[in-house]
Amino acid sequence: MRHGAAPQTPPVEDHTYRSSGVDLDAAQEVKRRIAHVASRTHGAEVLAAIGPFASMYELAGYREPVLVSGTDGVGTKLMIASMMRRFDTIGEDLVNLCLNDVAVSGAKPLFFLDYIAAGELDADVIQSLVDGMARACAQAGCALIGGETAQMPGLYRSGEMDLAGFAVGVVEKSMIKNPNAVRKGDALVGLPSNGLHTNGYSLVRHVLGLDRDPAPLGEFHPELGMTLGEALLAAHPSYVEELRTASHLVKTAAHVTGGGLPENVPRALPDGLAARLDTGAWELPPIFSTLLEMSSIRSEEMYRVFNMGLGMVLVCGADDAEELTALLPGAREVGSVTPSDGAGRVILR
């Protein structure tokens, strides 16, 4: 420094929320879009939804109402969607897997909330997710009543996100589906899946090396009639209407999610009873055959991880099976309830 020169003052950094990675303007734009989409699913029961600090839903018309709640997430299926930059089915996945869990108890889904966390907000991506949620809620007669969208730079890198869903339903106490009503000889009726739904994607990514090279997702497979990625992103279907329609015939039901048939079907049965399933009684969606051909996954592992073609298994009296399968399109009798021999509560043959 020359003699007599004034010391240089370092520039003052402009400390704002935006400089830390959180864009409040983007957050407001996302909230505006979400409120518009969600409002289309609201009936007179919704007293306060997007906007206030908490959502309100008026419950009426029940003598002994029991609230039934469930929460879940789409897991690493979200990573497949990110690789393909396609998010139009993920919102449907989130809603339907939660509503199906609520509906197996006999409950009517009332409302749904979501939680979306991301490193940075992409309003178009968020809108695509919420559009899917609104479609699924409208189909089930359920209100998309609220949620939270959080920007968390540092916890999530640019382009990364996660989401979770929360569903609440109601059922008359006397109408709750109880596994203790199941008896030896009852029939098992399966409702078809359309693919992986929301489970097993970590295994798929691992065996196909998609994290290193996502190119196989864009390959067209004639047996699928679409690309591999499109087949993997097929939306998790809702079974709410089927469960509502067949409620008078169904004793209990199992939503086949993580853990496949071996882990989920026993949840609809009382202690001491098992499910005997005839694997030749239903069709295997092509995506599972394609995965078997493209990888070295053993068949036994496939049944432990994936739904393998059955998205829901219903339990009914043996005399009601024919009526039940005629009532629900695509439903098939797939097995029966048998005493447990201690070797496992799901016997696949």
Alpha-carbon distance values, 94 to 30, 121, 142, 173, 333 (Å)? 19, 19, 13, 27, 28
pLDDT in tens, 53-74: 788 888 999 999 999 999 999 9
| Residue that is written with structure tokens 């509502």 in the block | 244
pLDDT for 1 equals 43
- Which residues lie across from 70 on neighbouring strands? 167
Comma-separated ranges of CATH 3.90.650.10 domains in the chain? 179-348
Confidence (pTM): 0.88
At the topology level of CATH, where does 179-348 sit? Phosphoribosyl-aminoimidazole Synthetase; Chain A, domain 2 (3.90.650)
pLDDT for 127 equals 92
Please state, as a whole number, how many other Cβ atoms lie within 10 Å of the Cβ of residue 152. 15
Instruction: Tell me which amino acid residue 66 is.
Output: V
pLDDT for 336 equals 98
Three-class SS state of 167 = strand
Comma-separated ranges of CATH 3.30.1330.10 domains in the chain? 23-51+63-175
pLDDT along the chain (349 residues), means of 10: 55 62 65 71 77 81 96 96 95 98 97 94 91 96 92 88 96 96 98 97 96 97 97 98 97 97 96 96 96 92 96 98 97 97 86
Name which CATH class applies to 23-51+63-175.
Answer: alpha beta
pLDDT for 25 equals 64
**H-helix or E-strand spanning residue 301:** helix 299-305
